[in-house]
Amino acid sequence: MGVIQINQELCDLCKICMEKCPFKAIELKENKIEINAGCKMCRICIKSCPNQAITYEERLKNEVNKEQWKGILVFVEHVDGEIHPITLELLGKARQLAQKVGHPVYCLFIGNRIEHKAQDLLYYGVDKVFLYDHEALKYYRVDVYANVFEDCIKKIKPCCVLVGGTSIGRSLAPRVATRFKTGLTADCTVLDMKDNTDLIQIRPAFGGNIMAQIVTPNTRPQFATVRYKVMDEAQRCDQACGTIERMSIEDAKLKSKIKVIEVVQKQRELGISEAQVLVVGGRGLKESKDLALLEELATLLGGQVAVTRPLVEAGWAPHTRQIGLSGRTVKPKLIITCGVSGAIQFTACMDASERIIAINKDKKAPIFKIAHYGIVADLYEVIPLLIQKIKEDRKGVEAYAI
Amino acid sequence: MKILVCIKQVPGTTKVEVDEQTGVLKRDGVESKMNPYDLYALEVALRIKEKLGGSVTVLTMGPPQAEAIIKEAYMMGVDDGFLLSDRKFAGADVLATSYTLSQGIKVIGTFDLIICGKQTTDGDTAQVGPAIAEHLNIPHVTWVSNIREVNERNIVVEQDLADSLEVVELDYPCLITVEKDIVQPRLPSYKKKLETRYKPIQVLSLESLQDRNENNYGLNGSPTQVERIFPPEVKAEHILWEGQPEELAEKAFHLLKTEKFI
């Protein structure tokens, strides 16, 4: 908390600070250096000034009594009681954070007729599930959900609140954090805990080109939303431990200004541009029926099959499946190219993918220049083995789950 | 029908790099533009106005240069524009930003409908819209992918919740944030550009707000603090695996497992 000051007597108008400011927030006005409203308080100007004319003045802020705020509260995301996997990821992280400071892990479970599902949560290292089960809570409506969230926080006073970075989480969390006049950090990819219970929150900024480490040092609770599929899921224990606490809230708090007219289940007809995982077939495929092999791998990974132009021209796949300048541009989380050489017309439309794995017999294929992992092999040998391994792994998991 | 659209000026590119030696952001040749998601919010507002009459006002917070995006909004057909600009607003996080905007809204007047883009391309938090609604104590709906009905009393929208669409009805006043591609935004018109060349932009400073307590704005009003910024870890680039198929399949499997694709 503080303010940046410019000592005009020390300033010789060298303008170095104006050049260094990443936000163009320093101006020369009437022969004076001034900071304008674009300032993000990054304080780079202070380091840049050769005359030490720019200083940062701390201002004291009311300190919150951190001892009074205990526990990591996880918001349980679900559809009609079916718990979203992000919840288990949050619980895994919550347990780690809680252990560092000796705090309990709590769940907030809001819905209608979900009590039987609350029991499930107790297998994931939760100390207490706070259950709000009411017909007014059947659908997600931000005003009543925020009221319930507020009620729970006021009653248990958690140190941190973790919410999934999902459509609901990103709508609800800012509402509740604002109500408590506290900080919320969106889409965290790394979380850690300081000894004084300050949550270290790391998130990508500026489209992922820069990481920012953020803390909420003077207010409680500390809110964070967390990206899906970043944290490790909590391990299921053999025995349930912890308890369920049934909560009630006054009827006035359950009155909503939002009327749900209907809920339409979305058809899962995604195009290749929307797919998170793509398996791509190229000219290395010998026959059109071999696409079934890629289809099998794609299905196991929850993805789709795409192709290169020659396959579309040969009539093996529709144009909507084609990646390339004359087809679609894609940016999935994972792309596995199989027998694709990697012509520029193709790579230009997929090289922004987050993880690129290429399988090709030819070690000199240009695709290996852009692939993060290149596998020099015959796709007909490697892919069946890979499919087999994934299937075996899945069997193991299914046998383990109850 | 009085509609307000909140807009933001963002860097023209997201390819910002950090100088690893100095930790300073490199910003050579970075131009500013209107947050692309705000164009959809503006288009929705203008279409509702065309249907029901009334006015569309835009509000932004930023440095004096942010006037440029208000001018752009004028060229699209917006009636009024306000810029919240004050050095005391600097360094604001979500809470302080949304509070400042809500204070600005209170000064400008009352609105039936407030529309925001789904998020900005620089902050990417998607939080400011819902937070404004909370400050104003009005309901909100995010991720609106379609407007089914709109009239003088209320609005029926489809809220995209990834696996389902929730169709909800809201009475005014309320706030919605709209998805990309909900409608095709119009281009700024040259005719409007000429017409609005001298159209004033009203600048609001801390002094013009109801709450003039500096501690609620900018860095002072921000509960979150950025402790440091740093470049992301570089992904393992261009690793080439050769060997027996069995061994290669195992490596690939292990990679997919570690990165949670399995």
Note whether residue B150 is domain-resident: yes
Going by pLDDT thresholds of 50, 70 and 90, the confidence category of residue B13 is low
User: Does the pLDDT at position B22 exceed 70?
Assistant: no
Domain with A88 in it: 66-254
Total domains, chain B: 1
- Last residue of a domain, which of A28, A58, A88? A58
Tell me, yes or no, whether A104 and A247 share the same domain: yes
Give the tens place of pLDDT for each residue, A279-293. 999 999 999 999 999
In chain B, which residues have their Cβ closer than 8 Å to the Cβ of A277?
261
Which residue ranges in chain A fall short of pLDDT 50?
402
Separation CA A313–CA A328 (nearest Å)? 15
The residue-averaged pLDDT of B166-181 equals 95
Give the global pTM.
Answer: 0.80
Q: Which of B256, B257, B259 to mutate to test the interface with A (most CBs of A within 10 A)?
A: B256
- Cβ separation A36–B248 shorter than 8 A: no
Residue B249 lies in a domain: no
Residue A401 resides in a domain: no
**Is B198 among the domain residues?**
yes
Residues of A in Cβ contact (< 8 Å) with B86: 37
Of B91, B249, B255, the CB nearest to A40: B91
A106 Cα to chain B: minimum distance (Å): 23
- The Cβ of residue A318 has, within 10 Å, a number of other Cβ atoms equal to 9
| Among A188, A23, A304, CA closest to B11 | A23
Closest residue, chain A, to B87 (C-alpha): A37
In a domain, B213, yes or no: yes
Mean pLDDT of chain B: 90
DSSP state, A322?
Answer: B
A203 and A80 within one domain? yes
Same domain, A88 and A228: yes
* Beta strand residue intervals within A308-382, DSSP E: 334-338, 356-360, 373-376
* Same domain assignment for residues A14 and A47: yes
Q: What's the pLDDT tens digit per position in A173-191? A: 999 999 999 999 998 989 9
Secondary structure element (H or E) that encloses residue B59, with its range? strand B55-61
> CATH code at A28?
3.30.70.20
Q: How far is CA B84 from the centre of its chain?
A: 15
Q: Are A109 and A132 in contact (CB under 8 A)?
A: yes
Q: Percentage of chain B surpassing pLDDT 90?
A: 75
Residue A211 shares a structural domain with residue A71: yes
pLDDT at position B20: 56
Record: contact A174-B241, CB cut-off 8 A: no
Residue A402, pLDDT score? 45
Which one of A28, A185, A209 would you mutate to disrupt binding with B, by most B Cβ within 10 Å of its Cβ?
A209
Instruction: Return all residues near A250 (Cβ < 8 A) that are at least 6 apart.
Output: none
Give the C-alpha distances (Å, rounded to integers) separating B79 from A348, B69, B75. 42, 14, 10
Q: Provide the domain count of chain A.
A: 3
pLDDT at residue B189 is higher than 50: yes
From A273, A338, A268, A276, select the one nearest A303 (Cα to Cα). A276
CB atoms A334 and B256 under 8 Å: yes
Residues A233, A281 share a domain: no
Q: Provide, as residue numbers in chain A, all residues whose Cβ is less than 8 Å from the Cβ of B94.
A: 174, 177-178, 183-184, 186
Mean pLDDT of B63-79: 95
By the 8 A CB rule, do B61 and B25 touch? no
What's the pLDDT at A25?
83
DSSP string, A167-182: HHHHHHHHHHHHHTT-
- The answer to the question of residue B85 being in a domain is yes
**Residue A37 to residue B64, Cβ atoms within 8 A:** yes
- Residue A2 has a pLDDT of 66
Summarize pLDDT for B86-140 with one digit per residue, the tens: 989 988 899 999 999 999 999 999 999 999 999 988 888 899 999 999 999 999 9
A265 is a domain residue: no
CATH number reported for the structural domain that contains residue B15 in this entry: 3.40.50.620
Residues of B within 8 A of A265 (CB-CB) are 163-164
Confidence (pLDDT) at A41:
76
Q: For position A123, which CATH number holds? A: 3.40.50.620
Q: Are residues A70 and A124 in the same domain?
A: yes
Q: How far is CA A24 from the centre of its chain?
A: 30
Q: Nearest chain B residue to A355 by CA: give it.
A: B235
- Strands B164-171 and A258-265, bridge-based pairing: antiparallel
**Does residue B63 contact residue A37 with C-beta atoms inside 8 Å?**
yes
Do residues A201 and A104 share a domain?
Answer: yes
Task: Provide the domain limits for residue B175.
Answer: 2-221
Nearest to B78 by CA among B157, B184, B6, B170: B6
CB contact under 8 A, A363 and B257: no
Helix (H) or strand (E) holding A146: helix A142-156
In chain B, which residues have their Cβ closer than 8 Å to the Cβ of A79?
163-164
Using only C-alpha atoms, what is the Rg of chain B? 22
Do A316 and A333 belong together in one domain?
yes
Contact A363 B236 (CB under 8 A): no
